[in-house]
Amino acid sequence: MPAARVGRVIPDVSLYDHLRTTAALAGALYLYHRKRGTLERKFICDDSETKFLLISGDFYGIQDFIFKGGGEERHHRAKLLRGRSFLVSLLVELAAEMLCERIGLSFLSVFFSAAGKVHLLAPNLEETLEALSQTRERINRWLYENYLGECALGFAVTEACPRDFEGERFQGLWRRHLERLEEAKYERFDLYRFGGAFSERVSPGYLERFRNDLEPSLCPLCGRRPSDPGIKGDSYILRPDQKEACACKLCRDQALIGTLLVKGKRMAVVRGKDGDLKEPLFGEYQIRFLEDCAEELAKKRRSAKTF
């Protein structure tokens, strides 16, 4: 359904996209004027003030994340590729959800999310920048500790006034913003904090996770992380000719997702530690695969927040 059919217009925008964009603009404007105490018409109609922050996130290292693996990966290739590909999209979606929640926006403020990238509109406030800083820190610390620097989530921010979204001005705004997002690739991690050897300062107990009594001690699916004793003999990482096998928690979770995505079950994303994953995403989100999503969640997790 097009957004407009009356008058001399080209119906090239759907009504859904039009309403979604309107909601994003309205949400950012409301928070901006409410925080500044200027919820009056004369202030709201001022289109020269930089009221918006255009925020974009980009997941770096997608190729390594999805395709690189260890010597045993070929036996689980299909489900690992499915699981890792889906996980990239889910991590980006959850990062946007986390950021919107800290700012005080609904997820309608996200106007694009695909291919490892996410774009959202937020109010130009100090609280927004603080929320972005905290979210970036939490996300990249978790990624660094678990994926050892092979991937990261970068963010770019550009100020904008209402006029910048009109006609040719928007083209210039978007071009400047994409240039900043490209520059952010060269600042994946804080080198002062994460530079140098992967040490106890970054991940306490990292070296102690390697268990020589496990076979193998290094995860055979990724060839990077230590095998975890809690995964020994897990059905999702066994080959048909094996009775026992070890892998790391992250590869087991990727194999589980890649297996159950095609089983016809419904998936719910919830907060907390209780779920089907061995390692909660960003340390606070879990996945549950259910036969009847609404009914089972109502019984098992009446206080859960689902997305």
Classify residue 2: in a domain, yes or no.
Answer: no
Query: In the predicted model, is pLDDT for residue 152 greater than 50?
Result: yes
- Do both 21 and 139 map to the same domain? yes
Q: Residue 300 has what pLDDT? A: 56
Percentage, residues of the chain above pLDDT 90: 50
Cα 235 to Cα 242: distance, rounded to the nearest angstrom: 10
Structurally, how many domains does the chain consist of? 3
Domain boundary pick from 143, 160, 189: 189
Expressed as residue numbers, the domain containing 92 is 15-189
Report how far residue 226's alpha carbon sits from residue 44's, in angstroms, rounded to the nearest whole number: 55
pLDDT at 150: 87
Q: Does some domain include residue 4? A: no
pLDDT for 58 beyond 90: yes
| Model pLDDT for residues 86-135, shown as the tens digit of each residue | 999 999 999 999 999 999 999 999 998 988 999 999 999 999 999 999 99
Q: Could you tell me if 221 and 286 lie in one domain?
A: no
Q: Is the pTM of this model over 0.85?
A: yes
Residue 286 burial (CB count, 10 A): 19
pLDDT for the residue numbered 306: 45
Residues 149 and 245 in one domain: no
137 and 248 in one domain? no
In this structure, the answer to whether residues 216 and 298 fall within a common structural domain is: no
> Residue 13: its pLDDT value, please?
83
Question: Is residue 200's pLDDT more than 60?
Answer: no
Largest CA distance in the chain: 75
What pLDDT was estimated at residue 22?
92
- What is the average pLDDT value for the chain, to the nearest integer? 86
- Tens digit of each residue's pLDDT (9 = 90 or more) over 60-70: 999 989 987 76
The confidence score (pLDDT) of residue 307 equals 44
**Same domain flag for 109 and 154:** yes
Q: Are residues 240 and 296 in the same domain?
A: no
Query: In this structure, are 35 and 140 located in the same domain?
Result: yes
* Cβ contact 251:222 at 8 Å: yes
Q: pLDDT value at position 167?
A: 84
Q: What is the pLDDT of residue 305?
A: 47
- 160 and 291 share one domain: no
Structure-model confidence comparison of residues 166 and 128, the more confident one: 128
pLDDT bucket at 211, cuts 50 / 70 / 90: confident
Q: Could you say which of 138, 156, 189 is where a domain stops?
A: 189
> What is the structure's pLDDT at 139?
94
Tell me, yes or no, whether 275 and 247 share the same domain: no
The partner residues of 289 in beta bridges, in order of sequence, read: 267
Model confidence pLDDT, tens digit, residues 36-55:
999 999 999 999 999 999 99
pLDDT of 297 over the 50 cut: yes
The per-residue pLDDT for 155 is 95
**Tens-digit pLDDT profile for residues 222-276:** 888 899 988 888 888 887 777 788 889 999 999 999 999 988 778 889 988 889 9
Token digits for 43?
């202030």
